[in-house]
Structure 1
Amino acid sequence: MMADFVTGRWSAELEDLFLRVSGRFGRVEVRRRMRDYVRGLLGPVGRKNSWQLAEYAGHNGPYGLQHLLSRSRWDPDELRDDVQEYVAQRLGAPDGVLIVDDTGFLKKGVVSAGVQRQYSGTAGACT
């Protein structure tokens, strides 16, 4: 399923989004790293750390992606606003609501902190 975001039917949507937000990243190298980073997060990468994401993107090491996240100059609030506007335009409806439930894990026991009944997307129910 996640691979569809990178290579399948969602690929064109991702490219459209990348074009829309690319102005937030000054240099072309940083834009490419941002694109590689997002594709890695959405792609079939087992562990989503800099080494594995860089390997998936075909980079020689993680340093470019680490630079993107720690030293490159871009405003995460402006990027968030751009993505939010894009989603509203592409998926929005006047009375619509977007709910993203990406993951969860089942808890066991009744006495540990945080194990009260709660909805889990993994189970699709309250557990």
Structure 2
Amino acid sequence: MTESDGDQPTRQRWILIRRSISGPDEITYYLACAPLDATVTDMVHIAGSRWKIEECFQSAKNECGLDQYEVRRYVGCYRHIILLFMLVQAFLAVMAV
């Protein structure tokens, strides 16, 4: 399926399905919207890099208390708190080394 800007399509939609090697019953689905020239390899690489981000957030929840924070507004959280927690996490990672 493609998205268009007028008469010409500009983006295409993808669905990626990932099965775990260690647990074949574990299946993950990704919905993506990408430029027309994106390849399957590009999409797999981007989906794979998502796990690094998820691990970073999980570490921030465990080490810095990110899961304890109540968000009042999305803008305030996005601009200030997430950045602060990522800086604290980076500091803790450097101290651990």
Instruction: Compute the TM-score of the two structures, normalised by the length of structure 2.
Output: 0.26
Which structure is higher in RCO with an 8 Å CA cutoff and minimum separation 6? 1
More strand by share: 2
Instruction: Compute the TM-score of the two structures, normalised by the length of structure 1.
Output: 0.21
